[in-house]
Structure 1
Amino acid sequence: SGLKYEEYVRVKLGIVEGELIASPLDRGAGASMSLVRADGFCVIPQNREGIAAHETVSVELVRDMEQIGKTLVLIGSHDLILDVINDRMMEETKDMCLSSTHVGSLSGLIALKKKEAHLAPTHLLDEKDGSYNRTITQEMFPDEKMVIIKGVRRRQGWIVKPGNPLSIGNISDITPEVRYINRQRGAGTRVLFDYLLKKEGIPTKNIRGYEHEAATHMSVAVAVQKDNADVGMGIYSCARALGLDFIDVTFEEYDFVTYASYLELPFVQEFLKILRSDAFKAKLEALGGYSCEETGDLIYL
């Protein structure tokens, strides 16, 4: 936050293990939908640069606590399907909803470990065997009964301008002359990109824009669309939504990690019901770039 003005930040709220968790929503003039989604406003006083994660704050509520108590809190990796699930949840239950904060897969698992979220969306690659999500979950929660809720398989690759004017085909085509837009540290997409660089022996200093980070796949696509970058790694559905070209790199597994005990929560049960529904699968088909062979399956660890 700037020091000059008092700022009102729109937040989404949810209750995890008896604690009220506030997650900031999109800010700025173009983020009108965050006004509709907000449960309240957190005030950042004048002469403060911001509020640290995990700090206790006061929130002016615009929704009652009964509604807030029915909010499923997700912190972790971003995907367009989270908005689809939230829409379905609100349509079918009228009072349950989903709050998602996009901080990357690893930070999401850390938030889950701190009991700040009910679910952590994640797609972290194990370089040793090519599997997703199981190894990191076992390492981070060695003494807990955990569950991986299988999500979707999704097309991950290079998002480029229409016609692919720079002829990007693989990572070796991202030369120092090409402007790249990266993802934040801890994001599964960043882990995959770093793995590909390492595999090809390409130093990060050769990637122009390696330090330029975006918080979501859609932000990567927007950067390419607005000519702030030539290429970025992201998911097919975001490229398609903005009319951009896409070059496949891999199909990855986008899942949801949670505690086994949380499966009994009513909004987690509703989440599972939606994941397994034909209506959700039909929406995936419309978005493009997804497959759902295991969607809604449970893997106990």
Structure 2
Amino acid sequence: MHDKVVIAKRIFIKAAWQFYDDHGETVDPRIFVLLNTIHESGKLTKAADKMGMSYRHVWNILKKWTDFFGSELVELQKGKGAILTPLGEKLLWAEQLVNARFEPQLISLASELNLEIHRNLTFKEPLLKIAASHGYAVALLPEYTNKFKLSLQYRTTEEALKALSNRECDIAAFHLPTEIVNPHLIEIHNKYFKANTYKVIRFVTRTQGLMLQRNNPKGITGVQDLLGKGIKFINRQETSGTRLLIDELFKRAKVNTTEIAGFEDVEFTHSAIAAYVASGMADAGIGVETAARHFGLDFLPLTTENYVLVCHQKSLKKFAVQQLIAELKTEKFQNAVLGLAGYKPFHCGEVIDLEDILPW
């Protein structure tokens, strides 16, 4: 008698907000869809269409939220449509910022749950473990794994390299600068890499730059302008690869970071930086172009990076690794990468020696 073959479905996790007051009263969480549509279109009718509700129903949701907070979230202007009040804007950007901030942790947790499900199945698909620095292109990979199971864990660059060195993952995914190299980054790589041991699976290039408020009202043209009065910056955390890039950019521009307002304030993802700037809490941040475009920000390119996949040379023989390489070379996957602003599938899927891509 044969065991029953069971193929596991993928589990996803999405954060949800629940508001309640000291009396335990709650309100409809669909307010965020409503606020976002009004922010983008300026029309309550379009919000009703998007939510599949009548205008009256949407209006009642809005009224309940107004009563809940004791303050208006939306201002209706005769002949001009609708705009968000300051409270409405704050609520909308708070939701987007929190989602952006915790997205990597939620994806990693979902990956752990999927891995546990996989371990308890009678039939086990080939498994590939990737420890990755968070990025938009690597986030596409779970959609291209029909012939193998992918465990994707988001880690800092050093954590990913350590996991690869300790054989805790099959692939470490991270970004390498093409021209602006921080000495500490060299130290990190030299700490974990041994000559003639690892191979690089080329993946994508991406553009990093200044994310600025729409229409650049402060007239920022470079990192030197961040020293200007009335300009606030939002930084990345010290353990991130982008923070190493930021520190090197400012060092080369001879910018005294102690004079930059907000330099000590940090966020943990490119999306969170973009959401922070879009909310008006900062005038500028540094991150990838994709995040800037997603939040409707202006973008000033500063440099490009190679985002690569690195594995032990023996791992290239694994079925799951071979299948991944095959997927990277498909037109479908590369077109998906081209759909990300500032990303290009540069020699995607080509296998080279690690030493051939290091910029030092």
How is 1:134-145 mapped onto 2 (pairs within 5 angstroms)? 137=189, 140-142=192-194, 145=197
Give the aligned residue type for 2:139: D
Give the aligned residue type for 1:148: V
Write 1 or 2 for the structure with the bigger share of strand. Answer: 1
Gaps of 5+ in 2: 1-12, 18-98, 355-360
Structure 2 counterpart of 1:79: 135
Q: Do the aligned residues in 1 keep the contact of 2:220 with 2:226 (CA within 8 Å)?
A: yes
Structure 1 counterpart of 2:287: 234
Write 1 or 2 for the structure with the bigger share of helix. Answer: 2
C-alpha distance 178-168 of structure 1, shift in aligned 2 (>3 A): same
How is 1:1-301 mapped onto 2 (pairs within 5 angstroms)? 29=17, 37=110, 39-40=112-113, 61=116, 64-66=119-121, 70-89=126-145, 92-93=146-147, 96-101=149-154, 103-125=155-177, 137=189, 140-142=192-194, 145-175=197-227, 177-301=230-354
Shift of the alpha carbon at 1:217?
1.3
Shift of the alpha carbon at 1:64?
4.5
TM-score (norm 2): 0.61
Gaps of 5+ in 1: 1-24, 42-58
Question: What is the distance in 2 between the residues matched to 1:68 and 1:137?
Answer: 34
Question: What is the distance in 1 between the residues matched to 2:180 and 2:337?
Answer: 30
Structure 1 counterpart of 2:93: none
Question: What is the distance in 1 between the residues matched to 2:180 and 2:140?
Answer: 33
Question: What is the distance in 1 between the residues matched to 2:178 and 2:343?
Answer: 21
Shift of the alpha carbon at 1:124?
3.5
Q: Do the aligned residues in 2 keep the contact of 1:125 with 1:191 (CA within 8 Å)?
A: no
Larger Rg: 2
Identity of aligned residues (%): 26
Question: What is the distance in 2 between the residues matched to 1:255 and 1:249?
Answer: 20
Runs of 4+ in 1 over 6 A off after TM superposition: 25-28, 126-130
C-alpha distance 262-37 of structure 1, shift in aligned 2 (>3 A): same
Q: Do the aligned residues in 1 keep the contact of 2:111 with 2:152 (CA within 8 Å)?
A: no
TM-score (norm 1): 0.72
